[in-house]
Structure 1
Amino acid sequence: MSKMRLYYYRVLMPHGALKQGLLQLVVERDHSARLRLERETEGTVLTLQRLPGWLGDVGAGLRKLTGRGLRMEDLAGLLRDLSLMLAAGVPAIEALRTLVEEGGQTGNHAAGRVAKRLADDLMSGIPMAAAFDRYPDVFPETVRNLVTIGDQSGTLDRMLAESAEHVERVVSIRRDIRTAMIYPIFVFATIFAVAGFWVYYVVPNMARLFRQLNAKVPPLTEGLVNFSNALADHAWIAVLVVALVAAAIAFVFVRVPRAKTVLHEVLHRLPVTRVLMTASGMAHLTEHLAILVRAGLEFVSCLDILERSTRDRYYRHRLRRVRESVARGERISLAMRRVGGFPPMAVRMIAVGEESGSLDRQLTHLALEYRKRLDTLIKSLSEIIKPAIILVAGGLFLFLIVALLLPVYDLVQQSVQQSLGGR
């Protein structure tokens, strides 16, 4: 199976200049990358070195952070514009060149670069479906498979329009999630910033005051002061350790599939996250299946595509087992019921669709239902998190206030006793 590979290359161009850079391709063998370089540059490949896969992940992350990558919103617009021009009878190469010009005029350079690469591929004789397949970091697998179906069946404009609608729905869900998470993230950031200020600045000053006044410091306050002193003395080391731990966790979840599988299994069993994961996972599965079945793809192939495209390892593992059963001739509803992990309502409606020949309609109904549930959950997400925020903030500040008030109470007692003794 072809994989995304990252290469460093040096090419001697026909006019004698030396060209070098990075190339990311989906190929089975390094020889395929060499052939592509020779064909595109018409030069001689001097160096072709495959780089570690994690460098490609780092590069993709940097492109997202710097805004050089193609955003999902822009991808939906590119697909829709290309669909409209193809439906109007504009040749594919001319349509892509138009999108390149439009990207330059509107400042959407990322979309313009993608359109130019596609146009160059078509000019070199590569079919549209193969051109899309060469950029899996830009086009999701569902989009690439719909383009393949459209290219083979002569309905490319309709498949591109359906791809654009699918991407727009994904964008809408992600936007709603980000909107729901803004408030909790802002509140948590504020809480920890204030707590950090107290620990780093207020507590050391109060500790010095307590020592000057010979106040009795209880163990709770002493522990807080020691922690504050350690943080003040080793602040940069603490920041570095936190950054390294975060990077290590991110690396494990990106490069170790088993870690993701365990995490998703746990999330599907916890009371609150289980509802959210089920709604989002089933909305993804049913929508993708409905699109692929409606496009006329054979069902085993639909499940194979869905297994590769879903990010939820909980469902990916179960889809693999369902696909194997369906390949042996078992009905999908029976396979899903036997494998387990799928909501009974979804299994029952899929069974009805299989019996009545309306599977695509049943899957569409399920997709709409789970999207509604997901929308409701996302909108109420901030309300669910608010009690946790209140508990964390209240507990943290109660600890700080009690730790600092105990020595003050001791000072008041000493003052009262001295006053009474003086009389």
Structure 2
Amino acid sequence: MSNLNTYYYRVLLPHGGVRSGLLRLAVKRDLSARMRLESDTEGTVISLWKFPAWLGAISNVLLHLFRRQVRNEDLAGFLRDLGLMMRAGVPALDALATLVDESNSVGHPAMAAVARNMLDDLNAGVGMTEAFNRHPNVFPETVRNLISIGDQTGTLDKMLSEAAEHVERMINIKRDVKTALIYPAFVFATIIGVAIFWIYYVVPNMARLFKQLQAKLPPITEGLVAFADLLSTHLPWVLLVTAIVVSIGVIAFRRSERFQLATYTLMHRLPIARTLLVSSGMAHITEHLSILVRAGVDMVSSLRVLGRATKNRYYRTRLIHVAESVSRGESMSSSMRRVGGFPAMAVRMISVGEESGSLDQQLSHLAADYRKRLEVLVKSLAEILKPLIILIAGGLFLFLIVALLLPVYDLVRQSVNQSMGR
């Protein structure tokens, strides 16, 4: 297997412009990289320099950390503006040139760079579909499929607008999910921070005071003091082990499909997490399927695209199985019912859509319904979690206060008894 090499290149494009940048390819010879560049750009390679292995590794890390990312909001605006200008009769080249200038003027350099590369490709004779396909990290596969269909059917302006609306709906779904998680995450972080402050600072000071007063500590206080001493003595190691465990968990989640599947499966069994994941996951699935089916993509291809686009491993695994069943001639609804994990209402509506030939409409209705459910869930999640948060916080601080007040109560009682004895 060839190694992945990093090259710096400068290419003279057919219209006279010069493009430069970094390219990563799994090739053995520099000639192969040169031929690939000239084939992709239809230009002439002016210079091609191969990075040493160690420098290539460093550059890849730096590129990943500092590469300017195209925001989804900028992507939606780019698609909408491009579709609007093409619908008004503006040629694609002029429309892209205008968007390059506009993106630079409003401070969106990453989107401007993508538009400039697409403009260079179109000037070099590359088709619109291929120009979009050359940026898979910017344009989702669903968007690229819509562009391909629009390019083939002569409805590119309509598909661009459809893609923009789709991206905006995905933005709203992601924003709703993040909004739902911000409140509980902030509250639990605050509770943990206050608890650590009490255990690390307040409890040791109180323990020293009790020791000076020779107070007799009850078992609950002795246990709390022992835990505080242990935490104070080994705090650096506790933080280090916590950081290592969290890092291992994050790395395992990103690289291990089994770990991802186990995590999502567990979350689908927890009450509140399950409601949130089902609403957001089904909104994502029905939204993508509705767009692809309405655009004319066959069902097997739509399900496979969706399987690659879905980050939720719980649903991704099931969608892959459904796609395999549909490719063998089984209906989507019966496949979903057999595979399991999909809400009964969604499966029933998909079944009705397949029988009546209105599948795209049923999927659109489902997508709108699940987006509405997610919106309502986000608004009500704070109210749902308040009793749980109050119970956890109240129980924790009740334990701390009782553990610290019992010795104080004993000291007061001893002092009163001594005063009465006199």
User: Normalization by structure 1: what TM-score?
Assistant: 0.86
**Do 1:6 and 1:50's aligned partners in 2 also have CA atoms closer than 8 Å?**
no
Residues 10-409 of structure 1: pairs in structure 2 closer than 5 A = 10=8, 23=23, 35-37=35-37, 41-47=45-51, 60=64, 62=65, 68-409=68-409
Deviation digits for residues 162-197 of structure 1 (CA, Å, limit 9, x no counterpart): 111011111112222333333333322322222222
Q: Distance in 1 between matches of 2:61 and 2:374?
A: 29
Identify if the C-alpha distance between structure 1 residues 267 and 12 changes in structure 2 by more than 3 Å, giving closer, same or farther.
Answer: closer
> Comparing 44-53 with 194-203, which one deviates more in the overlay?
44-53
Shift of the 128–56 alpha-carbon distance from structure 1 to 2, 3 Å rule, reads: farther
C-alpha RMSD over aligned residues: 3.1
C-alpha distance in 1, partners of 2:371/2:58? 34
CA-CA distance at 1:249 after TM superposition: 0.9
Q: Shift of residue 124 of structure 1?
A: 3.4
Map Cα deviations across residues 17-59 of structure 1 (whole Å, 9 max, x no partner). Answer: xx997546xx786777654456675323434759999997996
Q: In structure 2, give the amino acid aligned to 1:86.
A: M
8 Å CA contact 1:86–1:157 kept in 2: the answer is yes
Distance (Å, rounded) in 1 between the aligned partners of 2:11 and 2:88: 40
Contact 1:285 1:310 in 2 (8 A): yes
Shift in alpha-carbon separation, 1:34–1:254, aligned structure 2, 3 A: farther
**Aligned position for 1:8:** 6
Partner of 2:15: none
**Distance apart, 1:108 and its partner CA:** 1.9
Task: Output the CA distance in 2 between the equivalents of 1:100 and 1:7.
Answer: 30
Q: Secondary structure at the match of 1:43?
A: strand
State the Cα deviation string for residues 321-369 of structure 1 (Å, max 9, x = none). 2212221222222222222222222222222222222211111112112
Tell me: CA distance 1:11–1:131, structure 2 relative to 1, closer, same or farther (3 Å).
closer
| Contact 1:7 1:50 (C-alpha < 8 Å) held by counterparts | no
Distance 1:321 1:79 in 2: 33
Query: Could you report, residue by residue, the CA deviation over 1:271-312 in whole angstroms, capped at 9, with x for unpaired residues?
Result: 333332222222111111111111111221111111111112
| CA-CA distance at 1:408 after TM superposition | 0.9
Contact kept, 8 Å, 2:10 with 2:46, in 1: the verdict is no
Q: Which amino acid aligns with 1:229?
A: D
Instruction: Please tell me whether the aligned partners of residues 6 and 51 of structure 1 are also in contact (alpha carbons under 8 angstroms).
Output: no
Q: What is the alpha-carbon distance in structure 2 between the residues aligned to residue 35 and residue 381 of structure 1?
A: 56
One-letter amino acid of the structure 1 residue matched with residue 92 of structure 2: A
Structure 1 runs of 4+ off > 6 angstroms? 27-32, 50-58
C-alpha contact 1:9 1:20 (8 A) present in aligned 2: no
Change beyond 3 A, Cα 1:132–1:30: farther
| CA shift in 2, pair 1:114/1:226, >3 Å | farther
Deviation at 1:118, TM superposition (A): 2.2
Q: Which runs of 5+ in 1 are unaligned?
A: none
What is the DSSP-based 3-state SS (H/G/I as helix, E as strand, rest coil) of the residue aligned with 2:237? helix
User: What displacement does 1:234 show?
Assistant: 3.9
SS of corresponding position for 1:215: coil
Which stretch shows the higher mean deviation, 193-202 or 361-370?
193-202
Whether contact under 8 Å (1:8, 1:50) holds in the other structure is no
Q: Which amino acid aligns with 1:208?
A: R
Contact 2:9 2:22 in 1 (8 A): no
Deviations 1:392-411, CA, capped at 9 Å, x for gaps: 21111112111211221221
Q: Secondary structure at the match of 1:8?
A: strand
Structure-2 separation of matches of 1:395 and 1:274 = 25
- What is the rounded CA distance, in whole Å, between the counterparts of 1:12 and 1:79 in structure 2? 29
Q: Which amino acid aligns with 1:167?
A: V
Q: 1:170 to 1:29 in 2, by over 3 A?
A: farther
CA distance in 1, matches of 2:177, 2:322: 30
8 Å Cα contact 1:7/1:51 also seen in 2: no
Aligned equivalents of 1:303, 1:103: Cα separation in 2:
34
Cα deviation for residue 265 of structure 1 reads 1.8
- Aligned counterparts of 2:137 and 2:305: Cα–Cα separation in 1: 16
Query: What letter matches 1:333 in structure 2?
Result: S
SS at match of 2:50: strand
The TM-score normalised by the length of structure 2 is 0.86
